[in-house]
Chains A and B, each alone.
Chain A
Amino acid sequence: MHIPDGYLSPQTDALLGIASVIAAAGAAYKTAHTLRAKYIPMLSIGAAFSFTIMMFNIPIPDGTTAHAVGGSLLAILLGPWAAMISISIALIIQALFFGDGGILALGANVVNMAVVLPFVSYGIYRLVAGKSVVSSKRHWIGAAIAGYVGLSAAALCAGIEFGLQPLLFHTANGTPLYSPYGLNIAVPAMLFAHLTIAGPVEGLVGALVVTYLQRTNPAMLQLKSNTEKSAGSFRYRTLIIGLLVLAVLSPLGLLASGTAWGEWGGEELQAKFGFIPNGLQKFGDFWHHAFLKDYGISGYDHTFWQQALGYLLSAFFGLLVIGMIALIVQRFLGRSQGRTS
């Protein structure tokens, strides 16, 4: 699932990069208020652990082996915020040092694997495990479902990112500039691969590790609730506001990155502000010239509608996915707040 450079347009990369920076800032803010000095060694070793998890080969029924991402397991063990930082750092090291995943596409990879995956997984795990005792079946069942759904959600995001490329970026005669498949192919293809193989592997690893820890060292499954209790009053409201801002920003950004050249030209700015900034006019003309040339006036109607559909779909799915994450997190936070207070 590591997206290399070249599959996504730099505009998409930039947007997802901004989203991941906001998420990272949220994580830094949240963690700065809880664990303080002890945090750095714990996070570093957590990140090293998450890097190492990806190296385990799991034997699967057809005789071959598969890798687990381990993101859902980390979320269950360390909590979603610490998992997010750990996975992000592991992804940075993989991209910079081991050539696994792109450098520009880092934002996209972080959003898929370090934000969507741990938060969805953690939400589901808490939902299933509830307030049951540590030795309960509900923990490993929760871990299995969390791994499966979390990874599939991450794959869905990657599929949407791929699928938007040909809608938004292509030359005059329809030659795709980046990933060539539209949403109707990219999303099912990504989902199929992850729903059938990678998702079950992720769920299986989660469940097996949780049962192992239940059997041998149940204290480790309670790390999260302990630190949360000792952390005391964490401002959940700011966290939820941040998440909502992120939720609103992402689809808006998708819209903006697609429509910026065509619809936010000089004329509209003039209508809005009463003047056109000098630099914008200069560059506007420059881009405008290129824009018409690229898309061709005769075919404009056709591509315009395709694009419009792309924006609407992206806005819809983006809002849907992020809304769901926000909902799950909010729900869990509300519950754990009730417990701690």
Chain B
Amino acid sequence: MELPDWLSEASPALCRCGCGGRRKGNFIEKTLRDIVKIIQDAVFSEEIARRPGFLQRLDARIKVISLIYLLIIVNLCAHLSLLWGFYLVLLAIAVLSKLPLRQVVARVWLVIPLFTGIMVLPSIFNWVRPGDPLWVIADFPHPLHLGYLSFPSVLAVTRQGLWGGIMLISRVGISVSLAVVLTLSTRWMDFLRALRTFFVPKIFIMTLEMTYRYIFVLVSAMEEMFLARKARDAGQSAPKEERRFVASAVGGLFGKSLQMSEEVYWAMTARGYSGEIRLLKSASLCWSDVLVLSLVVLAGLILIVANKVMG
């Protein structure tokens, strides 16, 4: 028996990667990948936060204070040596706490320099931001005019631009690393419990807690929609139709979430919820937490004073 012709044809829909024959990828696949990534991230970081280690043992309240305090310090420091010195210490602590280095180092430093670097690249040239020339790229005989724009005759990389760019990338990368290290080592619920002891009103904490849970409910509802669509998808549909599908999915999901909020409210009422919020009390701090906090405060002050001394 012979295969009919249409079966042996290479159809874009049969491409195994699900790209639908398009180079840039299919929106369904992309959305499904995003969903998987979100869930994977959440599960993974929860797992790391459960491992034994120095940072994991620390009280979440201390970590929240330290995170905000150190972020301010890092953003006030204007010296690369201080910033990188701080980063090395942070990295040492992360290694000590058995955080996965791949997550802490690679994901930050592969992504940040790329995005921030592209953003900052034009500013290192004197045509965009004037400054002292460090390295002359081109020297035209006369100033250039392009429409109403005029450029000086020398195109050069400026000292200010270059150092400013390196500074920005370092600062962004180190800030992100700090946040990654402290959030990876803390369980989400502990983090929220810590926030509650500070300045955040109860209603916000409770909303945050519920939101975090329902994100996963809604995300899996969304996953089902997209999987169902993928199962029915044969060949290539028009972008217009695809957009309509996405809009319907958003609208449908909105209806679903409204209905769910109604049901959740009734379920809560049935269990005695009257609008008053009661939360569990957190444990008291132990001496090592206080010690770590004082060390962090001192380290921050040292950085600031060193920054002033270096001018």
- Scoring B residues 227 to 271 as 1 if CB is less than 8 Å from chain A, else 0, what string do you get? 000000000000100111011111101110110111011001100
Partner of A5, one of B71, B165, B206: B71
Residue B13 at the A interface, CB < 8 A?
no
Q: A10-B75, A53-B250 are in contact. Are A99 and B215 (CB under 8 A)?
A: no
Residue B219 at the A interface, CB < 8 A?
yes
Q: Which residue of B lies closest to A42 (CB)?
A: B261
* Complex CA distance for A59 and B117, rounded to whole angstroms: 27
Contact count band on B: 35 or more
Question: Which one, B34-42, B135-143, B293-301, is touching chain A?
Answer: B34-42
Interfacial chain B residues near A85, Cβ < 8 Å: 207
Question: Is there contact, CB below 8 Å, between A220 and B255?
Answer: yes
Most chain A CB neighbours (cut-off 10 Å) among B22, B180, B251, B311: B251
- Name the prevailing secondary structure of the B interface residues: helix
Residue B172 at the A interface, CB < 8 A?
yes
* Complex CA distance for A9 and B71, rounded to whole angstroms: 11
Question: Is there contact, CB below 8 Å, between B217 and A205?
Answer: no
Question: Is there contact, CB below 8 Å, between B257 and A49?
Answer: yes
Interfacial chain A residues near B68, Cβ < 8 Å: 103-104
Most chain A CB neighbours (cut-off 10 Å) among B188, B210, B246: B246
**Shortest CB distance A115–B (Å):** 16
* Complex CA distance for A6 and B194, rounded to whole angstroms: 25
**Shortest CB distance A86–B (Å):** 8
Interfacial chain A residues near B71, Cβ < 8 Å: 5, 102-104
Residue A20 at the B interface, CB < 8 A?
no
Question: Is there contact, CB below 8 Å, between B248 and A212?
Answer: yes
Q: Can you name 5 A-B pairs with beta carbons within 8 Å?
A: A44-B209, A49-B218, A104-B175, A166-B129, A177-B78
Name A residues whose Cβ lies closer than 8 Å to a Cβ of B: 4-7, 9-10, 13, 24, 28, 36-38, 40-49, 51-53, 55-61, 63-65, 70, 73, 77, 85, 89-90, 92-93, 95-99, 102-104, 166, 170-171, 173-182, 185, 204-205, 208-209, 211-213, 216-217, 220, 223, 286, 290, 293-294
Contacts A44-B206, A171-B78 given; 10 further ones with Cβ under 8 A?
Answer: A5-B175, A6-B175, A37-B273, A42-B265, A56-B222, A56-B246, A59-B242, A61-B239, A102-B71, A286-B308
